[in-house]
């Protein structure tokens, strides 16, 4: 490499965006990009990532699953597009809803099996024979 090329390379690698996108900056420097070209490409990449992150945060389910959304944002932009993030958030939401329905179904089945048949003082102890956990479950409803 010539002295000028080495100087340009050093300037490119010193750009603030180069710290965030070192591989891209390295490729630009190795392929003979000028400082202006490298700055333009790196700035465009940073802006694109910023818009992608804002897009993911704006998805309707993003606030419902903040930890999962943060993990999606951490993925690289080549991998995690807004559309893909939306698909994954919808899948997580569907799975959570299925789990809630399963839990509700199991609770209702349990209640049907173990609930006392008569109510009031004449019923006596309708919870006789139940474990402490089962009694606790009944007291929640």
pTM: 0.62
Give the model confidence (pLDDT) of 53-75 as tens digits.
999 999 999 999 999 999 999 88
User: For position 121, what pLDDT does the model report?
Assistant: 44
Question: What CA–CA distances, in Å, run from 85 to 20, 98, 122?
Answer: 22, 20, 58
Tokens 């995690």 appear where?
Answer: 80
pLDDT of 119 above 70? no
Distance of CA 125 to CAs 6, 28, 110, 141, Å? 87, 79, 18, 17
**For 32-51, what is the mean pLDDT?**
95
How many whole angstroms separate alpha carbon 19 and alpha carbon 22? 6
Amino acid 128: pLDDT: 61
Residue 15: partners with Cβ closer than 8 Å, 6 or more residues away: 25, 38, 39, 42
Mean pLDDT of the chain: 84
Can you tell me the mean pLDDT for 111-136? 61
pLDDT at 59: 96
Mapped onto helix, strand or coil, the DSSP state of residue 83 is helix
- Select the more confidently predicted residue: 100 or 131: 100
Q: Which value, in Å, is the radius of gyration of the alpha carbons in the chain?
A: 29
List, for residues 72-82, the tens digit of each pLDDT value.
998 877 788 99
Q: How many CB atoms lie within 10 A of CB 46?
A: 14
Q: What is the DSSP letter of 20?
A: H
Q: What is the DSSP code (8-state) at residue 75?
A: S
């Amino acid at each position: 490499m010539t002295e000028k090329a080495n100087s340009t390379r050093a300037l490119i690698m010193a750009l603030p965006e180069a710290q965030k996108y070192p591989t891209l900056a390295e490729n630009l420097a190795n392929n003979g990009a000028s400082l202006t070209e490298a700055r333009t490409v790196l700035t465009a990449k940073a802006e694109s990532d910023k818009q992608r992150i804002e897009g993911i945060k704006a998805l309707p389910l993003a606030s419902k699953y903040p930890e999962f959304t943060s993990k999606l944002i951490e993925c690289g932009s080549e991998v995690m597009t807004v559309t893909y993030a939306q698909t994954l958030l919808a899948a997580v939401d569907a799975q959570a809803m299925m789990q809630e329905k399963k839990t509700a179904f199991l609770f209702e089945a349990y209640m049907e099996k173990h609930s006392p048949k008569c109510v009031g003082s004449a019923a006596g102890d309708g919870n006789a024979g139940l474990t402490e956990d089962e009694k606790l479950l009944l007291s929640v409803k």
